[in-house]
Amino acid sequence: MSSAVGVLHPGEMGAAIGAVLVGAGHRVVWASRGRSRATRDRASAAGLEDLATPARVAAEADIVLSVCPPAAAMDTAVSLGAYSGVYVDANAVSPSTARAIATAVERAGATFVDGGIVGSPPSRPGDVRLYLSGGTAAGRVAALFETTAVDARVLGDSIGSASALKCGYAAWTKGTIALLLAVRRYARASGTEEALLGEWAESLPELEVRFERSAASARAKGWRWIAEMREIAAAFDAAGLPAGFHTAAAEVFAMPPPDVDGEAGGKARG
């Protein structure tokens, strides 16, 4: 393999991380086969080199970062085929899913690093943290991001630690979005929405603005969060905790978010 970093597949977050690596002087490659025009445009704008297929990425990249919707994490991992480099799954999956992906890529010859991303696509320091776990290889991945806008933090050797932290973080941030959307839907269905909004204005004035932001986020990204909520539910269940909170959150994100004006939002994507 030549010295390169692969990114599979550069959505908004993946392309931004790829751009950071390009800015740090790394050769960053990706595979365009089967990807959308929007993905191709993002990758081009980020300065990523197109190698067309995952197999070619596997042949040329020392390290591959997977940044994709959680439902596609396993398929993305096995798409590389035989690979002897470092594979980083930086997706919003449960620790058990991370360990299953580790087993798959290690059978194919790779060294696995567990990852979890918290924050927004990086444009300046402080935007995003990349948590990593998995032995000395995790430190090697973190070193890629030294002096960049990505704050890479190694949690230790245990596969699943980075995914567990991401699950815990998103259980609150996205779980509470789902709860707020469900509460507003309930108030509307019960005929008490106007009264509830009045009570919010008196006792919880921040909730109306938070609802508007939550609905906008769910409208743009809620389709990605359905599988993530199910991964969190599985993580809670494995820890002996009730899984129902986030199973229900997945159901909420499968619905169109309610608009402020009382009409259903745009069609949800699954």
The secondary structure of the chain in percent helix, strand, coil, rounded to multiples of 5, reads: 55, 15, 30
Give the confidence band of 62 by pLDDT, cuts at 50, 70, 90.
very high
Question: Using an 8 Å Cβ cutoff, are 168 and 91 in contact?
Answer: no
Q: Alpha helix locations (H) across 86-205? A: 95-107, 135-144, 161-190, 193-203
Q: Is the pTM of this model over 0.85?
A: yes
Cα-to-chain-centroid distance, residue 162: 12
Question: Using an 8 Å Cβ cutoff, are 141 and 125 in contact?
Answer: no
Residue 266 has pLDDT above 90, yes or no: no
Q: To the nearest whole number, what is the mean pLDDT of the chain?
A: 93
Q: Give the model confidence (pLDDT) of 92-121 as tens digits.
A: 999 999 999 999 999 999 999 999 999 999
**Rounded to an integer, what distance in angstroms lies between the CA atom of residue 47 and that of residue 44?**
5
Q: Other C-beta atoms within 10 Å of 84: how many?
A: 13
Give the confidence band of 261 by pLDDT, cuts at 50, 70, 90.
low
**Rounded to an integer, what distance in angstroms lies between the CA atom of residue 59 and that of residue 36?**
23
**Res 37: pLDDT:** 94
Q: Does the CA dihedral 75-66-28-42 come out positive or negative?
A: positive
% of the chain surpassing 70 pLDDT: 95
DSSP secondary structure code for residue 70 in this structure: G
Question: Using an 8 Å Cβ cutoff, are 144 and 63 in contact?
Answer: yes
Give the confidence band of 258 by pLDDT, cuts at 50, 70, 90.
confident
